[in-house]
Chains A and B, each alone.
Chain A
Amino acid sequence: MLSSQSDRAGFLPLAQLPSLLARLRERGYQCLGPTVEQGAIVMRELEPPNDLPRGIQAEQTPGRYRLTSHPLNRYFAWASGPQAIKPHTFAPKESLWRVERDEAGSLQFAAVHPPVVRQAIIGVRACDLAALALQDAHFLREGRRDAHYAQRRDHLFLVAVQCAEPASTCFCASTGDGPTPTAGYDLALAELADGFVAVAGSDQGQAVLDDLNLSLATSQQIEAARQQGASAAAVQTRSLPGRNLRDSLMSRLEHPRWDEVAARCLACGNCTAVCPTCFCHAEADTPALDGATSEHERIWDSCFSEAHGHLHGFNVRADIRGRYRQWLTHKLATWHDQFGRSGCVGCGRCIAWCPVGIDLTEEVAALTEGQP
């Protein structure tokens, strides 16, 4: 973020943060941002005059996520919450088409289009942007653009924030996806004690920055932001043994560790629900009570669900060993075949939100025995 564009970086004083939201609203954006809900930071619509929460930190360890207070009273001291961008581009549940049946039994099918909503999400992280790029590669594939995803994506404005205080579960430095945003944002902020170093990553972002009429960031401010990013990378303790584990994992498909992790895994699917790159979804039909219409919806699904591998009368992945292996080998191995890189962006959500604290980095280390 701050190297190539540092000559054009502005400085947004803390007191002016609400004016950033105001400028976005003037441009027709619904502003979503960090909100405390049920003990977690989630992205919800920010309604003026309610301010962004301050001084909140998210302590995360395997199987544990707790909000605590942050001594420096920063706005963005929290590391990733359970969800960020994904539910706003790839909806957890939405109707794809509808069918009407008349009395003669004729069927009339019609596509369902979601309403156009311009959304700005404030506070997304580098890992979230990397994950969004992977979701884009899947849903906006050449010749097969998903219309629902594309519509939301086209109307999205992203305000990224550099992660200054990663959680213990974070390992984005190891996957090369963070902690400082480098691409994929409209605006990127780095929070310092008295304000934000701000750079634009798109024409729309630059237009918003111009509206704010900021003074240029000083070289000291830019250097402070750079150092903050470097130290956020340095404090991360978890890591993967390499960025391409494809051959390493695919040559260990019968490793005894799969049985060992399957004995702990509950197959609840939490990891896939919080994973920002998981794209599996089921399609299901709901007829109206009067029988005259039926909706065809897609709903987030998980490769840990029993139905995922169901095939006329048997299950391809009847046991948890097969399901965990499917999830891990897809995420870290066969994703390379599909998208040219790993499907893991190092956000650590699957570790924090696993009810039994299964740690992906620990499983990979055991599977690869330190020999990627």
Chain B
Amino acid sequence: MNVSNSLDAGPPHAATVLARIQESPTIFTLQLRLDDAAAQAAYRFAPGQFNMLYLYGVGEVPISIMSDPEERDLIGHTIRALGRVTRGLAALKPGDRVGLRGPFGRGWPLQEVGGCDVVLVTGGLGCAPVVSVIHYVLRRRERFGKLVIIQGVKHAEDLIWREQYDRWAKLPDTQVLVAASEGAPLWPWHVGRVTELFSLANFDPGCAVAMMCGPEGMMRSAADALLARGLPESRLYLSMERNMQCAVGRCGHCQFGGAFVCRDGPVFNWGEVKALLAHKGF
């Protein structure tokens, strides 16, 4: 699903922080609006694409877009404060300015689902690039079969958007399976590995598309489990992460074999990347 890029290699567009939401001790969401009203009005993205966010004087980071693609007034990013740029972004307040360029890359293959079930497997903050898929499916519910949301976290307190998972779990034809490797008091979901939940997942392997985002080890195990359930390899997708600096397939950092993850991905079909994923160091 390629969407023509309205913003290229640079320079970025100025954007203002509309809201900042603390999701967990280290994870926060920034809701941004491009300062140029025409650019904001023209901005379109597909679920699974990402933007480069620029913190003044510090640098840029690639961040997936988590807001609803139908939402025209803001662009949402959920970020973990970890490096120089993201720790600085965490300190921003409403009214502060950032730079934004994007959207970049190939998003999720939503057109290929064609009435079948949607299985979403995410680990940690891998839920962020996928949450826009959930919004997308829920807005067009009649076009899709069952929606299965499987999310794993290391510690129970790492789970963000708890209320949303609760809400989604109550919707018809929607299954929510959450696991934490380490539980906590009053943790209502599974304690253990996320892959232990696959036997509970209710979908038709003959008519389903699975989309994964999270640590590569988790995605490899999840792929094994999904393929063992009979899901064809051609219906299994994942979103990859690599160092990205230019976002237009030029700087070379995100190369994964012959692919530039920023341009040819970040969403790949399992068959495109499985051989190289078996080797560490690419």
Contact = CB atoms under 8 A, between A and B. Distances in A.
A144 B251 CA distance: 13
Query: Per DSSP, are chain A's interface residues mostly helix, strand or loop, or mixed?
Result: mixed
B251 A99 contact: no
A202 interface: no
Contacts of A264: none
B11 A308 contact: no
Interface in B5-41: 8-14, 35
Interface string B251-282: 11101011110000000000000010001111
A99 B58 CA distance: 11
Contact of B281 (A279, A310, A325): A325
Contact of A322 (B11, B59, B280): B280
A111 interface: yes
B242 A281 contact: no
Interface in A314-328: 316-317, 319, 321-322, 325-326
B213 to A, nearest CB: 14
B56 A96 contact: no
B56 A311 contact: no
Contacts of B252: 279-281, 301, 303
B68 interface: no
Contact of B10 (A96, A321, A335): A96
B97 interface: yes
Contact of A291 (B54, B57, B280): B57
A137 to B, nearest CB: 12
Given A106-B14, A109-B14, A285-B58, A316 B282 contact: yes
A303 B282 CA distance: 11
B261 to A, nearest CB: 11
B253 A308 contact: yes
B255 A334 contact: yes
A356 interface: no
Nearest to A279: B252
A110 B11 contact: yes
Interface string B50-69: 00001011111000000000
A29 interface: no
Which of A105, A138, A139, A287 gathers most chain B CB within 10 Å? A105
A235 interface: no
A39 interface: no
B250 A139 contact: yes
B124 to A, nearest CB: 11
Interface string A320-350: 0110011001100011111000000000000
A107 interface: yes
Nearest to B80: A312
B99 A298 contact: no
* Interface SS, B side: loop
A285 B54 CA distance: 10
Contacts of B35: 106-107
Contacts of B14: 106-109
A294 B255 contact: no
Nearest to B95: A105
A242 interface: no
Contact of B245 (A279, A283, A303, A316): A283
A351 B192 CA distance: 51
Interface string A120-156: 0000000000000000001101001010000000000
Contacts of A87: none
B246 interface: yes
A253 interface: yes
B58 A317 contact: no
B248 interface: yes
Given A301-B251, A313-B82, A283 B279 contact: no
B123 interface: no
A310 B241 CA distance: 11
B282 A144 contact: no
B243 interface: yes
A101 B56 contact: yes
A311 B241 contact: yes
B57 A284 contact: no
B35 to A, nearest CB: 7
B258 A337 contact: yes
Which among B83, B99, B252 has the greatest number of chain A C-beta atoms within 10 A?
B252
Given A96-B11, A312-B241, 11 more contacts: A106-B35, A109-B12, A111-B11, A144-B9, A284-B59, A294-B57, A296-B10, A298-B246, A308-B243, A308-B253, A325-B281
Interface of B: 8-14, 35, 54, 56-60, 80, 82-83, 86, 95-99, 241-243, 245-246, 248-253, 255, 257-260, 275, 279-282
7 tightest A-B CB contacts, nearest first? A337-B258, A322-B281, A280-B252, A287-B57, A97-B11, A109-B11, A334-B258
9 contacts: A96-B11, A108-B14, A283-B246, A294-B57, A316-B281, A321-B281, A322-B281, A336-B258, A337-B257
